[in-house]
């Protein structure tokens, strides 16, 4: 059988990875897909740079529309990134009856509902395994492997750049900025690294996971997002003393009142596998009612790990290419007409435990005032220690862990405590999860 032909939009970190993996493993891939997969055209902005990267083996143009409009191509692989022109290209490819493979989580988190609706109406597939957790087949696992389960929650390290930064800061004592530069050099970081360090990239991915887990429309606006840029080295150290590691987690949970969707630095008990995921590695914990907790671990970024997922999608599309559209696996795991609307919970409604660091005057009665306010707010203390002040120092840090409390109550208590004249700086608050 003749190879299936694909057009590649973008030949950056991931595009080059896809090109190289397809070329290197062509024989094995053909044996699995049932026919060859050929990159027949490539669109980039800088043709010279692209030729330098892969030689002159494939036609390369700056005109993406020309690639999308070629009648002999069945698949368009979007690896440009960002919202526009990616959205326009993907929608045009769908309108022309082409299947789409993309690694673009930002695009799907913002415009996924529109894109999947268009694809379903046109009877084509949009595959996006690489959009979440790079090389880890988490979309496939959730959509197919765990399909018997009612999913209860997902918690994951789904941004390699921020995990790399946290790991290097903790283990080597390196400064934030230097580690971020290294992550950029290694190709992990997004074009705009704010997306990585402010939790936006993780929120994009979590939004997609949540939709697939619970059969609800994609709703990025419902995500609470807090990154690692304000995290202080001393909190990483204090957490360690208490037996915890700080990780940027994406958490989505089904509760009796609605769905939680939140990304924030989180204290994780050191003995959990998730706490020991280091460097740019990703890991996703999924709790299903039948299977219990399952863990997926691997490289979440980088050229070939991400290419592994893109090529897997290309093989899936090649295998299903001639199937009737009603036999395709639904994009978001649930049949399009079986998606439901549910309430999304605000971060104020979250119930979890907390780490506090309070800079206070070292004088009698300070702790009593603080614990009184916490008790008034129904916040129970689980552990507490006070840093021994240095000689001559008249202030200190109180470090505290709480039992579960409602975030709204915690906010009110923090406001009252910060108003005490003996509390000398804004309180540092980091959420904590036991993950069992």
d(CA 221, CA 203): 10
Beta bridge partners of residue 155, listed in sequence order:
251, 285
Residues 285-324 interacting with ligand HSE (rule: CB under 6 A): 300-301
CA distances from 272 to 10, 238, 269 (A): 38, 18, 6
- Helix, strand, coil % (nearest 5) of the chain? 40, 25, 35
The one among 4, 6, 10, 370 contacting ligand NDP by CB under 6 A: 10
CB of 164 or CB of 334, closer to ligand HSE: 164
Q: Which position has the token pair 């807090």?
A: 226
What does the per-residue mask of binding to ligand HSE show for 129-168, with x meaning CB under 6 A?
A: -----x------------------------xxx-------
Identify which of 420, 164, 418, 419 has the alpha carbon closest to the alpha carbon of residue 428: 418
Residues 169-188 interacting with ligand NDP (rule: CB under 6 A): 187-188
Q: Which position has the token pair 């590691």?
A: 245
Q: How far is CA 385 from the centre of its chain?
A: 34
DSSP 63: -
d(CA 101, CA 78): 6
Binding piece for ligand NDP, criterion CB under 6 A, among 177-185, 299-307, 343-351, 385-393 = 299-307
What does the per-residue mask of binding to ligand NDP show for 190-219, with x meaning CB under 6 A?
A: xx----------------------------
- Is residue 13 a contact partner of residue 130, using CB atoms and an 8 Å limit? no
Report residue 229 as tokens. Answer: 């840029």
The one among 59, 85, 279, 330 contacting ligand NDP by CB under 6 A: 85
Binding piece for ligand HSE, criterion CB under 6 A, among 61-69, 189-197, 286-294, 331-339 = 189-197
CB of 81 or CB of 265, closer to ligand NDP: 81
Q: Is 205 a catalytic residue?
A: yes
Angle formed at CA 138 by CA 217 and CA 328, multiple of 5 degrees: 60
The one among 21, 33, 37, 44 contacting ligand NDP by CB under 6 A: 44
CB of 11 or CB of 428, closer to ligand NDP: 11
Name the catalytic one among 205, 253, 287, 299: 205
CB of 288 or CB of 302, closer to ligand NDP: 302
Binding site for ligand HSE (CB under 6 A): 134, 159-161, 188-190, 196, 201, 300-301
* Catalytic residue annotation: 205
């Amino acid at each position: 059988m003749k190879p299936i032909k694909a057009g590649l939009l973008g030949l950056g970190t991931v595009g080059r990875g896809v090109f190289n993996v397809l070329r290197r493993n062509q024989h094995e891939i053909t044996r699995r897909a049932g026919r060859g997969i050929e990159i027949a055209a490539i669109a980039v902005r800088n043709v010279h740079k692209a030729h330098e990267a892969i030689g002159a083996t494939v036609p390369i143009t700056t005109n993406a529309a020309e690639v999308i409009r070629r009648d002999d191509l069945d698949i368009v692989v979007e690896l440009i990134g960002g919202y526009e022109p990616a959205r326009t290209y993907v929608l045009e490819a769908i309108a022309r009856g082409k299947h789409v493979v993309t690694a673009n989580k930002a695009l799907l988190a913002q415009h996924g509902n529109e894109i999947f609706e268009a694809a379903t109406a046109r009877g084509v597939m949009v595959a996006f395994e690489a959009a979440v957790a790079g090389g880890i087949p988490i979309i496939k696992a959730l959509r197919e492997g765990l399909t018997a389960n009612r999913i209860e929650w997902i918690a994951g390290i789904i941004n390699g750049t921020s995990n790399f930064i946290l790991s290097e800061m903790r283990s080597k004592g390196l400064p934030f900025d230097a580690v971020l530069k290294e992550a950029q050099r290694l190709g992990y970081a997004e074009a705009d690294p704010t997306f990585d360090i402010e939790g936006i990239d993780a929120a994009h991915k979590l939004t997609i996971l949540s939709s697939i887990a619970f059969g609800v429309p994609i709703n990025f606006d419902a995500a609470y997002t807090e990154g690692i840029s304000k995290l202080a080295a001393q909190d990483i150290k204090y957490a360690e003393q208490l037996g915890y590691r700080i990780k940027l987690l994406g958490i989505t949970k089904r509760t009796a009142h609605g769905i939680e969707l939140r990304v924030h630095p989180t204290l994780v008990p050191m003995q959990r596998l998730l706490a020991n995921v280091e460097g740019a590695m990703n890991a996703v914990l999924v709790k299903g009612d039948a299977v219990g907790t399952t863990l997926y671990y691997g490289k979440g970024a980088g050229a070939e790990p991400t290419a592994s997922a893109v090529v897997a999608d290309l093989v899936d599309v090649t295998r299903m290419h001639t199937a009737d559209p009603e036999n395709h696996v639904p994009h978001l795991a649930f049949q399009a007409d079986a998606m439901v609307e549910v309430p999304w919970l605000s971060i104020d409604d979250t119930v979890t435990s907390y780490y506090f660091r309070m800079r206070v005057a070292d004088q009698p009665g300070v702790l009593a005032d603080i614990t009184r306010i916490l008790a008034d707010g129904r916040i129970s203390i689980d552990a507490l220690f006070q840093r021994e002040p240095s000689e001559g120092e008249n202030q200190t840090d109180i470090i505290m862990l709480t039992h579960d409390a409602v975030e709204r109550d915690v906010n009110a208590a923090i406001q009252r405590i910060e108003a005490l004249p003996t509390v000398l700086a804004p309180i540092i608050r980091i959420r904590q999860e036991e993950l069992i």
